[in-house]
Structure formats: structure tokens, C-alpha cells
Amino acid sequence: MSAEPTTSQSLAPPVARQVPSVRTFHGDHVTDPYAWLAAKDDPDTIAFLEAENAYAEALTAGSEGLRETIFGEIKGRTQETDLSVPVRKGAWWYYRRTVEGQQYGLQCRCPARPGDDTPPRAGREPAPSGEPAAEGPAPASEALDGEEVLLDANALAGDSSFFSLGAFSVSPDARWLAFSTDFSGDERFTLRIKDLQTGAALPDEIPGTFYGAAWSLDASALFYVTVDGAWRPWRVWRHTVGTPHTDDVVIFEEADERFWIGVGLTRSERFLSVSSSSKVTSEVWLLDAAAPDGELTVVAPRRQGVEYQVTHQARADGTERLLILHNDGALNFELATAPVGRPAEWTPLISGRADTRLLGVDAFTDYLVVHFRRDGLTGLRIIRPDDSEHDVAFPEPVYTVSPGGNSEPASALYRLHYASLVTPDSVYDCDMATGELVLRRRTPVRPLPGPGAPREYDPGQYEQYREWATAPDGTRVPISLVSRRGTPRDGTAPGLLYGYGSYELSVDPRFSIARLSLLDRGFVYAIAHVRGGGELGRGWYDDGKMLHKANTFTDFVACARHLADGGWTSPGRLVAHGGSAGGLLMGAAVNLAPEAFAGIVAQVPFVDALTTILDPSLPLTVTEWEEWGDPLHDPAVYAYMKSYTPYENLQNAEYPPILAMTSLNDTRVLYREPAKWIARLQADARGGPFLLKTEMNAGHGGRSGRYDSWHEEAFVLAWIINVAGAGQP
């Protein structure tokens, strides 16, 4: 046995055996005593993980009541029987429904009336305070008139403890549904086809597929992606409906291990698009969707460092063009046009700007909508046929606005999502001709029972702010904060600081029902918008990757100290939280400044980064070399990564309590990274306790059912509340 089982009477951590394994690169010899934990099928590995689960459960047993209370708060505030705002596609409205007591949603559609752009509704929901009544659907227990249930995920999941959909694609003629399923969390899906006229499943069954699928225009062919041995999507296949998958044909193969591929159908349904992208370079190929047996045509051959994406626009005057969003000579990207017949001839339409990062473009018959980022906030700009422009504006100091489900190219309405730290997700339709916004639906927050009247959610009881911390090199780092109105600024409030900071992904300010369980217990919740993310443009990302990665970590520590210096909280009451690459951030930040935090939550954390990025046989490694650098071939990168990778840089210091969470079947960040990290912390570090909780049948996203995920969220929040001493003087 590698570990000693723990009972509630014995609160010593499991003892993992140490088996010295030497890693040698660039003349550097490193002994790793826990490398054996990489053997997933070794009974000793499973025994260690199970012992750690028992230890974590024993040490958190006292919070069981709090966990159940928080789960009840999340569940009680959530509209369990609910209905999304339907999205129009052709003769149908498509939407998702949830039913109280069921873990997963139902994918549905109902017929659309000709010429009616107003989404159907089952009832009318109360209007948000100070706003006109929403015109969209209310939460409803009944189906909409004429409803067809396309897919019931509860029936598909059955008794499985994990379930996930990887593809959900209705054919252009609305006859077929392509969908794929995963029952283990390893993100390897089985693709199937359903006849929506008869409800019968076709014998077509394709194992081992990746996310997504796309149809030809006549629905005779289905295109999908498979992965190689390192879990890299690298081949696009054409499947003819009604034939064995063994007859399928590869139409595109990407040999360069840095590149991932994806496949999709343009909104206009004119082209099938195959995109191949590394972290810094991209290439797009188009296929006439009406000729599924035809040849792919490249838009522009790849050039190292040039990224681009392609949108097709069919205009009202009968002409068509391609819209190319690219960074060729434009750090923050610019928008160009190109003739369909000469796609490599790019003519600028919107020039790049130093203060604005262009994120995407949606093309309609008469309008364009550009999604952008400026001053750390997202925005949407409508471009009309007469070239006049309109920015969709919102009044809150921090918020997120993003494209919604837009599928009809001839529509004059643009669906968008809006949220802030205090405003629940709100679905609007914007009249692109006038700029008028119609609120279709705002996610309801149900009142909780309480003494006297039920506790209604009132956004006016909360305040949100934008603060700026100063990093060691003088860079100003934005922080988004929210707290209950009147929360003291004397350092007594408990705090939670969230961070990510990689891949140019931005942690934008959004609403969370679960977060209310912290705010109502006096917490200040903050997001550190550190370098390596995309909040302040491409330069912000570049300055937090490769040989600048340490900026991500020092930015986060600076944000933690800013909160304490400003009286928002104090080091003894501040918990840090991050996941995946944000888990790397957690491990690196606590190594730099263990005294700055009362606790650390690291979910699926990338804490053994150097070991992973040295192994090109592992999932993601080669594609990641343009994010972190290539330590296998570059001694400078090796030395730099070794200087910050959390597993190898534990300090001779008192560490705060740490909770690491992982999943056995995670293909993105392997379970072994947090397992090794916690084993070393338990053996060598002072302080703690250091806990590891492993889901034995799940993937990178953790538990899949909504009630299961709420229980997991309640577990984490209860741990945070206890560690931060919420409610204590």
C-alpha cells in the first residue's frame, strides 16, 4: 500500500511512499520522489487518492451542516424549472429547458410563425426593478406550444455518474440531429445521428470523436474531428449519412503538432470552415457547403505569428464577401474584407487600435456587429448599411456584454447577453436599425425563506467597484470587486480573490448565484485581472506568457496586498481561488507570499508544469510550447519554468491551508499534478492542512450534473468560509 487509510479518529495525512526518480535535462538532475503517481492503473495510486479523499472528508466533516445549508441556498435561489430564450433558425425556435429534480437539461424546439421575430413564451416573468416587463419567456413547467424534445440528457445519462455532450448540431433542413456523448469525463465522444421526423436513432455510430460537428447544406454528409495519441484534434472526416463509419473519408489532416483543428458551418450556411490554429498562428480552409465532396480552399496560407478568423456575409444586394479578423501588422487585430473568389486579398475595414482589442464579428444581411474589448471591459458595435455606427451602452462601472445565440442572417435583431457582478445574466434583443434594447429575460434569483418576509434578491444591497493595484514593476493591475453595501473597510471582512491569467482568457465580471452565499456572510469578492489574460488587450497577454510568465504571479500577489492595504480584507482572512492554469497561479503565488493568504483553493491545478511541458507525448504539451516556451529544447526556458513551477519551489515557510481538487479522467491537467503537489506539501511543508479531493469518474470540469456540481460548489464555499473565519471577530 502506498498510503495509510485515515478515519475520523486519526487526522494524520496519508503517507505516500517515496520512490526516487531522476529527471535529467540540459545537465540538470532533479529527483522526484512522487513520479510513480503518474501510473493511473497502479493500485497504489488509486489507494493513495482514495486515502486522500478519506482524509479530506475527515478534516471537513465538521462543515457538513454548513455545506448542506449552502447547497440549500444555491438550490433555493435557482429557478430549477426554467426555460432559455428561444433562438430562431429557419422554421423553428430552439431552446433549452430544465425541470426541477433533474440533473440535466432538455434540448427542444417548437414551430415558428412566419414573419414573427418575437421569441415564444410560456408566461410572463416579473420585470426587474425599474425596467419594463421582459417580452421573452418566463420560467415554465409546461412545454411551449408544439414542443418537440430533441434530446433529453437525463434519459441519455441514465445511471451514469458523469455525462457530457460534445456535439449538438441540427442539419440545415432540420431533419437530422448529430450529437455526441461522454460518460467518463475524458472528452472522447461517441457521435450519433437522430431522425427528428421519426424520433429514431440511425445505426450510424462513430466512436472516439472530438467536440463539434457540422453538416453539409443538403444534410447528406456530416463532418467531424478526431484526436491523435496526444489528444490533439488533427483530422476532419466526412461521414455519409446511412453508411458505416469505417467508410468515412479524411478531408483534412494537420501534421504540425502545434496546431489544433476545428470544423463548423458559417451562419450563412454557404461554407464549411476548417480552422487550424496554434497559440500564435492560424489558417482557415473553406468548402462549398453545397458540394460536400468538393475540395477545400485555403483563405490565406499560414504565416508564423499571423492569426485570423473568417466570417462570410451574403448581403441584401446579392453580393457576398469574407470578413477577416486578423493581427497582421495590428497587435490588437483589425477587420478586413476579401472577395470570396480571392480570399487572400484583404482590404482594411476597421483599422487596429492600441486601446481596443477586436474579438470577433457577426455578419448579417444588412449589418455587422463587432465584439471588442477596451479599458478592461467588453463592448458591441453595430455597423449599419450606411456605415453609421452604434455602440451598445450600459451604465454599470464593471460589466460583461457578449454575443448571444444569433443564427438568422437576415434578422434585424441582435441577441446579446449582459451581466455584472450584481446584475444576473440578461438576454436582450437589440434592434440594429435603431439601437433599441428589448429585455427578453433576466435570470431569476428566487427569494430565500427567512424570518418574516422571504429574502428577495435586491441588487441595490450590493456594491461593485473597480480598483487598481500596482505590481512590483509599476504596472497598474485592475481588480473588480463586489460586496454587500456597508461592508466595513477596516480589514475585518473576509475576502476571496479569484485569478486566472493565461491564454489571453479574460475573467470578466459576471453574476453568480452561489457567490451570494459568500457576500451575505460578509465577504468581499474580488477578481484580479492579471497579465497573461486578455483584459487589457494582446499586449497584456504577451506580458504574462513565455519568459514573462512571472508577471502573472507577482500581479496576483500585488492585488492581494492591495486589498489588505485598502482595508477590504486582511491577510488572515483572504482566501485565493483559481483553477487549471489559474491553479498554477495559486501554487506560484502561495510560494511567493504564503503570508498573504489565509487559504488557497486550487481546482484541477497545473502545478507540475515543467514535468508536463517536458513530455511531448502528453496531451496538449507541444501545442503549449507557444504559451509557456519549449523547455525540452531550450535551456533558458527550462531554467525559467523551473524557477516558478509550484511543485518544485516549495519554500521553507509556514503555508496556509490548501484545498486541491482534481478528477481522475482529466485529459487537460492530469490528476497526478495536484496529487504529487499535495503529497510533497504533506511531507515537507509546515502549516496546512493540505487536502486533496479527487473525483474518481469525472474530467476537467468536475462533476457534470447540476445538483452534483452544486454540492461540489457548496463543499468549496464551506471550506472557504471556515478558513476565512467568516462571522468571527
**From the candidates 186, 429, 630, 666, which is the catalytic residue?**
666
Question: In the annotation, is 63 catalytic?
Answer: no
pLDDT (0 to 100) of residue 127: 37
Q: How confident is the model at residue 728 (pLDDT cuts 50, 70, 90)?
A: very low
- Look at residue 618 and tell me whether its pLDDT is greater than 90: no
Q: Strand 524-528's sheet: what is its strand order?
A: 462-470, 476-484, 524-528, 495-499, 574-579, 599-603, 658-663, 690-695
Higher pLDDT pick, 705 / 528: 528
Helix (H, G, I), strand (E, B) or coil at 85: coil
pLDDT at 304 over 70: yes
Confidence band of 450 (pLDDT split at 50, 70, 90): confident
Q: Distance between CA atoms of 185 and 189, rounded to whole angstroms?
A: 9
The answer to whether the beta carbons of residues 392 and 436 sit under 8 Å apart is no
pLDDT of residue 115: 77
Looking at residue 126, what is its pLDDT? 37
The span from the first CA to the last CA of the chain, in angstroms, equals: 44
Domains delineated in the chain? 21-76+450-724 (3.40.50.1820), 82-159 (no CATH), 165-306 (2.130.10.120)
pLDDT band at 699 (very low <50, low <70, confident <90, very high): confident
Q: Would residue 390 show up in a list of annotated catalytic residues for this protein? A: no
Catalytic residue among 502, 580, 663, 704: 580
pLDDT in tens, 180-196: 999 999 999 999 999 99
* Active-site residue flag, 42: no
Mean pLDDT of 507-515: 97
pLDDT at res. 453? 60
What is the pLDDT confidence band of residue 456, given thresholds at 50, 70 and 90? confident
Instruction: Supply the pLDDT for residue 504.
Output: 97
pLDDT of 6 higher than 50? no
Its pTM stands at: 0.94
What pLDDT shows up at residue 130? 39
Q: What tens digit of pLDDT does each residue of 392-407 get?
A: 989 899 999 999 987 7
Question: Around 146, how many Cα atoms within 13 Å sit in the side-chain half-sphere?
Answer: 11
What's the length of the chain?
A: 729
Mean pLDDT of 198-223: 96
Q: Which of 84, 630, 700, 704 is catalytic?
A: 700
**SS3 labels along 226-241:** EECCCCCEEEEEEEEC
Q: What is the pLDDT of residue 143?
A: 85
Name the β-bridge partners of 227: 233
Q: How far apart are CA 177 and CA 193, in angstroms?
A: 6
Out of 124-133, 468-477, 604-613, pick the least confident: 124-133
Distances from the Cα of 45 to the Cα of 36, 162, 360, 675, angstroms = 8, 22, 45, 9
CA distance 32 to 619: 21
Confidence band of 619 (pLDDT split at 50, 70, 90): confident
Task: Give CA–CA dist 574/569, Å, rounded.
Answer: 6
Please tell me the number of Cα atoms within 13 Å of 537 on its side-chain side: 15
| d(C-alpha 445, C-alpha 513), whole Å | 7
pLDDT at 698 over 90: no
Provide the percentage of residues in the chain whose pLDDT is more than 90. Answer: 88
Instruction: Evaluate if residue 475 carries a pLDDT over 70.
Output: yes
Continuous segment of H or E residues that includes residue 365 = none
- pLDDT of residue 724 exceeding 70, the answer is yes
Q: Using one digit for the tens of pLDDT, what is the confidence trace for 23-52?
A: 999 999 999 999 999 999 999 999 999 999
What is the mean predicted confidence (pLDDT) over 311-319? 94
What is the spatial distance between Cα 141 and Cα 97, in angstroms, rounded to a whole number?
9
Amino acid at 246: T
Residues 124 and 483: their CA atoms lie apart, in Å, by 31
Percent of the chain at pLDDT exceeding 70? 95
Average pLDDT, the chain: 93
- Average the pLDDT over 224-235 and give the result: 95
**Residues 347-364, mean pLDDT to the nearest whole number:** 96
- For the stretch 115-128, pLDDT in tens is 788 999 864 443 33
Looking at residue 507, what is its pLDDT? Answer: 97
Q: Is the distance from CB of 305 to CB of 299 less than 8 angstroms? A: no
Q: Tell me what pLDDT residue 10 has.
A: 53
Q: Which residue has the cell 434578422?
A: 411
The grid coordinates listed for 292 are 460536400
Query: Do strands 654-655 and 686-687 pair parallel, antiparallel, or not at all (unpaired)?
Result: parallel
